[in-house]
Structure 1
Amino acid sequence: MTQSDLATDREALQAIVQQGRALILEQQHPGGAYPASPTFSAYRGFSWFRDGAFIADAMSALGERDSAERFFDWCAATLERQAGRISAVIAEAAAGIETPADRMLPTRYTLDGAPGDVDWWDFQLDGYGTWLWALEEHVARHGGDPTRWRRAVELTADYLLVSWRRPCFDWWEEHDAEVHVSTLGCVAAGLRSASRLGVLDAGLARRCGDTADAATDLILEDGVADGRLRKWLGSNAVDGSLLALLAPLDVLDVTSAAATGTLTAVETELTVDGGVHRYAADVYYGGGQWPLLSCFLGLAHLARGDEARATELLRWAAGTATRSGTMPEQVADHLLHPDRLPEWETRWGRSADPLLWSYAMYIRLAVELRLTAGGETR
């Protein structure tokens, strides 16, 4: 590739960063929530703590401090409105009662912070850990006083401390009877961040740190199979969401044997031409390839020093952007189960496009590669 070609390539990759930035800013709700997708019928009008936390982290890394903080403000306000429900969960746990899943916190909220009134696969814990992690990353990156979010951090910590070991739905709203390793990782990262933010009293901060250690120990003791992370405790499958535990969450040392084994398994079992599938048995929209997972894979490779592979994965994600300039949830070039595609299109129409989380992970990897507007790859 000539110098001219390299410059053109950088400009094209940078242009997608700016497309993503513009879309996220345009779609952010006045109250701070990021909609998962402005057009997809099943996501429109809803915000997830998990998706939103990764979006806020990307915007923070890009220098959009106000956008990220508006999201954290939305998280805080939403959690404070749920204080009564959280108190009930904590009281029942103290009495030895397991709160039914339908009375735990929901995974998604309307853009004004209310629980959705449509049935959903709702009990998930990962997002509550992920927002704490993103908040600490933001404060470390930009400074400022995190005490404005103190009450919400306390509520989240108290909630996770009594529920972290419970089975729940995973990132993909599936398999609610299992304890998922990616969920444990998100909780561990979040509680560790809460313990370091400097807004909790010493006792609660210590409990957060101890529980983060316990969750990490559980991952290493029971969450590893055949030398790599497993999809859930007791499973032998691998899942693309596990990449987040390597980077950017940094739950595991990215050079460790388990991290190396996980990267190898994802590359071997789930990756085709740079596109990463969620897991081998995935039938959702036929089991396509997700740009956001390619970017998580890129972040993990970059954390290990492999800039060339990280850049390849960024380019693959860039290639999924449509002619209208949107980045989808998934693409159908290498469907795992093509016979299952029609049922989902009948149910919800074409798969989500755009997905703000896809753009966010592209931005996050581009920032790490120093490929923001006016910048160059390393």
Structure 2
Amino acid sequence: MTTTPRVALDALLDRSRTVITSLQEPNGAYPASPSFSAYRGYCWFRDGSFIADSASAAGEVASASAFHDWCAMVLTRYADRIRDIVEAADAGTPLPDEQMLPARFTFDGALGLDDWWDFQLDGYGTWLWAAATHSERHGIDPARWADAAALAVDYLLSSWERPCYDWWEEHDEAVHGSTLGCIAAGLREAAESGLVTGERAERARAGAAEVRARLTRDAVVDGHLVKWIGSDAVDGSLSALIAPLGVIDASSALAAGTLHAVSEQLEVDGGVYRFRADTFFGGGRWPLLSCFLGLAYAAAGERDEAQRLLEWAACTATDTGMLPEQVAGYLLAPEYREEWLERWGPVATPLLWSHAMVLRLATELGVDGTELAA
């Protein structure tokens, strides 16, 4: 097994902290990538929530809190829109997709002017989960984000059954396994942490159980989670439902089946693809997905597998310690790579989400460089 020298891993973890905290906007927003043409100037609820969870777990408390403050600002800014969405859903006349909340916002909390595949529900569930986890981890009063959490809970309860785009901004005709998992985790943690209280907490708790029931009933084929309801394909994002989200018990047969399917169908030498039909930049392997798979293996007690996946992800760093969104080796669809390079330029590097997940898995394993030393 190829290993990462201690000095290299230590330096990468330090660099990841610096990338995350130094590039964070003064108001708390995390840029997805500071220079990538299609991402520049935007913060995603989903990516940012996982980045904030990594910062929180690694002890960067102020950084994570600032991001949750930013999310709360955004949600309260669009409170009237959320209420309109909820009222329309309750009346049986749901609003069209283009009037739903977007997946990403500009750093000042505005709606983007660029065309995007915007209607995605997972980010709002992920934010509830990350804010609740952060508040519990560091003893922060959840009332700080209570008004925004109430809006997010109401929004998700009104709309969770709707098809929408997935983590990858694709297939808005489907109900995706990962989306259901993010929503279930967020509703559960919002209720259990005190982010929402009283009758709303009871509705959130019941909603979480209902969403999870649909996930485990309708998004499972041959003993593993699937990409979307009605498909038998797997997706690299499904590992997150085992850990860190904890929607699927890591000791369960479903977790074992999902880990096996993701590893068997999507992993090559430690690198994990998004899905087998991927053509984005030729369909490369993503360091952040290797780290999600590693977190799931760690939760299942398979530490060696988790360390192996961390090593691969760490080894994708550039000479300057920057982690990319994906790498070019062993492409699934190499004939598409040039098309994307011409459209958007080089692969996003650095991607803050990649840095966050390497830091998060290293933190979970208690790695300081020693255990992965050559």
Could you tell me the TM-score, scaled by structure 1's length?
A: 0.96
The 1:274–1:199 alpha-carbon spacing in structure 2 relative to 1, beyond 3 Å, is closer
Moved more, 200-209 or 117-126: 200-209
| 2:205 pairs with 1:206 | no
- Cα displacement (A) at 1:233: 0.3
- Cα displacement (A) at 1:92: 0.6
- Cα displacement (A) at 1:53: 0.3
After superposition, residues 325-344 of structure 1 pair within 5 angstroms as: 325-344=321-340
Letter in 2 for 1:147: A
Q: Residues 132 and 195 of structure 2 are in contact (CA less than 8 Å); yes or no, is this contact kept in structure 1?
A: no
Q: Aligned partners of 1:14, 1:126: CA distance in 2, in Å? A: 32
* Residue 155 of structure 2: aligned partner: 159
* Residue 141 of structure 2: aligned partner: 145
| 2:98 pairs with 1:102 | yes
Q: Residues 163 and 172 of structure 2 are in contact (CA less than 8 Å); yes or no, is this contact kept in structure 1?
A: yes
Q: Residues 188 and 216 of structure 1 are in contact (CA less than 8 Å); yes or no, is this contact kept in structure 2?
A: yes
> Aligned to 1:134, which of 126, 130, 136?
130
Q: Aligned partners of 1:343, 1:152: CA distance in 2, in Å? A: 40
1:277-332 per-residue CA deviation (whole Å, 9 max, x = no partner) reads: 00000000000000000000110111111111111111100110001210000001
Q: Residues 362 and 368 of structure 2 are in contact (CA less than 8 Å); yes or no, is this contact kept in structure 1?
A: yes
1:185-227 per-residue CA deviation (whole Å, 9 max, x = no partner) reads: 0000000011112242311101100010011111111110011
- Cα displacement (A) at 1:144: 1.8
* Residue 315 of structure 1: aligned partner: 311
After superposition, residues 284-363 of structure 1 pair within 5 angstroms as: 284-363=280-359
1:9-59 per-residue CA deviation (whole Å, 9 max, x = no partner) reads: 333222211101001111000110000000100001100000000000000
1:209-261 per-residue CA deviation (whole Å, 9 max, x = no partner) reads: 00100111111111100110010000010000101001000001112111111
> Aligned to 2:251, which of 255, 258, 266?
255
Letter in 2 for 1:99: L
> Aligned to 2:81, which of 82, 85, 89?
85
* Residue 11 of structure 1: aligned partner: 7
Following TM superposition, the consecutive aligned residue runs of length 4 or more in structure 1 with deviations greater than 4 angstroms are none
Letter in 2 for 1:220: T
Gaps of at least 5 residues in structure 2 are: none
Letter in 1 for 2:275: Y
- Cα displacement (A) at 1:94: 1.6
Q: Aligned partners of 2:196, 2:27: CA distance in 1, in Å? A: 26
> Aligned to 1:169, which of 165, 169, 188?
165
After superposition, the CA RMSD in angstroms is 1.6
> Aligned to 1:188, which of 184, 192, 196?
184
1:319-356 per-residue CA deviation (whole Å, 9 max, x = no partner) reads: 10001210000001110000011111111011111100
After superposition, residues 207-286 of structure 1 pair within 5 angstroms as: 207-286=203-282
* Residue 62 of structure 1: aligned partner: 58
Q: Residues 243 and 250 of structure 2 are in contact (CA less than 8 Å); yes or no, is this contact kept in structure 1?
A: yes
Q: Aligned partners of 1:16, 1:134: CA distance in 2, in Å? A: 24
* Residue 113 of structure 2: aligned partner: 117
Q: Aligned partners of 1:229, 1:255: CA distance in 2, in Å? A: 15
Q: Aligned partners of 1:220, 1:197: CA distance in 2, in Å? A: 24
Instruction: Report sequence identity in percent.
Output: 57
Moved more, 33-42 or 298-307: 298-307
Q: Aligned partners of 1:166, 1:295: CA distance in 2, in Å? A: 29
After superposition, residues 10-89 of structure 1 pair within 5 angstroms as: 10-89=6-85
1:168-201 per-residue CA deviation (whole Å, 9 max, x = no partner) reads: 0000000000000000000000000111122423
The 1:135–1:372 alpha-carbon spacing in structure 2 relative to 1, beyond 3 Å, is farther
Aligned pair count?
373
| 2:180 pairs with 1:197 | no
- Cα displacement (A) at 1:376: 5.7
Q: Residues 191 and 197 of structure 2 are in contact (CA less than 8 Å); yes or no, is this contact kept in structure 1?
A: no
**SS state of the match for residue 345, structure 1?**
helix
Q: Residues 134 and 140 of structure 2 are in contact (CA less than 8 Å); yes or no, is this contact kept in structure 1?
A: no
**SS state of the match for residue 272, structure 2?**
strand
Could you tell me the TM-score, scaled by structure 2's length?
A: 0.97
Letter in 2 for 1:103: Q
